[in-house]
């Protein structure tokens, strides 16, 4: 026996987290996201067709990957819009670790696009359009926004193109969304990872060879590994980079939280003309508004809207 018990190492949860990872001695930075209950709550709030739910799941993972790297309080919004069956997809990440998202789509057009054997991806669902990432630092700052064309059947390709074009940072992204059957039923799961190379300089020298090797190892990462609840984040990274050593850093828990409220909806309705508000009143004399993100239905008495804004 010894006089001192060994130090207890903090346990990193398997699900609903975002974390950075570092390959020992390599000029490469990485991030990993695993989503379980969080993505299931977001996707299950709506009766989305499977391809639409998968697209929104990708957007949520991507928002968490990029947003969790921000060094200030604010929001990272990932959105894509086009002329395809899915008109609009958005995922909203708050640096407090909360996520929300939703899609607008035409059910008939999505059904037609889904007639093949493979799940239709981003370009098939969104058509011609744009991929947008927006950073919102609050009312005291202007929003910053980057826009690129929609490319490829995964939002991962859109993100890679965005970082290459807007920030000149070579980037690789993997995103995976699927359903898993558990003892309590079927639930959505999602995961993703991103690697970026640090540019070479006089002290570091060229980083091209290391980047090529990192990309080759990263390409072996399977979708099933990203969403498998039995594979811990540490195990996943060890499988990829065990020869050189890799460590997980700064894991942050994530939660599905919508910022909607009755007060916000009333404030918005107070900005509408009186005749528009009158048309919203239903037969029982109430106005009902449904949050696009979480599907919560708010019942409002017209007299509440007539009250002046505080």
Residues linked to residue 197 through DSSP beta bridges, in sequence order: 28
Q: What pLDDT is attached to residue 6? A: 35
pLDDT, tens only, 78-110: 999 999 999 999 999 999 999 999 999 999 999
pLDDT, tens only, 130-173: 999 999 998 888 899 999 999 889 999 999 999 988 888 899 99
Tokens of 182: 């558990």
Q: What pLDDT is attached to residue 205? A: 55
Least-confidence region, from 113-122, 144-153, 171-180, 199-208: 199-208
Question: Could you give the angle at the alpha carbon of 228 between the alpha carbons of 223 and 229, nearest 5°?
Answer: 155
Q: What pLDDT is attached to residue 14? A: 74
How much is the average pLDDT of 113-133?
Answer: 92
Helix and strand totals (H; E) in the chain = 11, 13
Q: What pLDDT is attached to residue 203? A: 60
Phi-psi map region of 186: left, alpha, beta (phi>0 left; psi -120 to 50 alpha): beta
How much is the average pLDDT of 238-263?
Answer: 90
Separation of alpha carbons 302 and 271, rounded Å: 13
pLDDT band at 58 (very low <50, low <70, confident <90, very high): very high
Tokens of 272: 């509408």
Separation of alpha carbons 269 and 264, rounded Å: 9
How much is the average pLDDT of 115-121?
Answer: 86
pLDDT, tens only, 219-241: 999 999 999 989 999 999 999 99
How much is the average pLDDT of 186-205?
Answer: 82
Least-confidence region, from 42-51, 184-193, 203-212: 203-212
Separation of alpha carbons 68 and 164, rounded Å: 19
Tokens of 216: 């080759």
Is the pLDDT score of 307 beyond 80? no
Q: Which residues contact 208 (CB under 8 A, 6 or more apart)?
A: 200
Q: Which residues contact 14 (CB under 8 A, 6 or more apart)?
A: 34, 36, 229, 231, 232, 233
Separation of alpha carbons 3 and 290, rounded Å: 61
């Amino acid at each position: 026996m010894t006089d001192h018990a060994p130090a207890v190492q903090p346990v990193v949860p398997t699900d609903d987290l975002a974390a950075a990872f570092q390959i020992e001695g390599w000029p490469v930075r990485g991030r990993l996201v695993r989503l379980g209950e969080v993505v299931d709550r977001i996707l299950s709030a709506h009766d989305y067709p499977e391809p639409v739910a998968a697209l929104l799941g990708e957007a949520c993972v991507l928002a968490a990957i990029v947003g969790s790297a921000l060094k200030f309080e604010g929001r990272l919004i990932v959105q894509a819009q086009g002329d395809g069956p899915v008109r609009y997809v958005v995922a909203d990440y708050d640096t407090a670790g909360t996520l929300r998202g939703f899609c607008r789509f035409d059910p008939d057009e999505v059904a037609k696009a889904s007639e093949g054997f493979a799940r239709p991806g981003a370009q098939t669902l969104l058509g011609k359009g744009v991929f947008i990432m927006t950073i919102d630092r609050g009312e005291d700052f202007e929003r910053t926004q980057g826009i690129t064309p929609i490319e490829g059947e995964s939002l991962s390709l859109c993100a890679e193109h965005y970082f290459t074009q807007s920030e000149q940072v070579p980037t690789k992204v993997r995103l995976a969304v699927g359903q898993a059957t558990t003892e309590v039923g079927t639930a959505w799961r999602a995961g993703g990872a991103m690697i970026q190379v640090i540019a070479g300089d006089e002290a570091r020298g060229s980083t091209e060879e290391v980047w090529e090797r990192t990309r080759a190892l990263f390409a072996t990462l399977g979708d099933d590994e990203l969403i498998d609840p039995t594979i811990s984040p540490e195990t996943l990274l060890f499988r990829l980079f065990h020869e050189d050593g890799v460590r997980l850093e700064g894991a942050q828990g994530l939660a599905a939280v919508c910022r909607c409220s009755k007060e916000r909806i009333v404030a918005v309705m107070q900005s509408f003309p009186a005749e528009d508000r009158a048309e919203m009143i239903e037969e029982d004399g109430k106005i009902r508004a449904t949050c696009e993100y979480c599907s919560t239905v708010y019942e409002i008495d017209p007299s509440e809207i007539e009250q002046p804004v505080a």
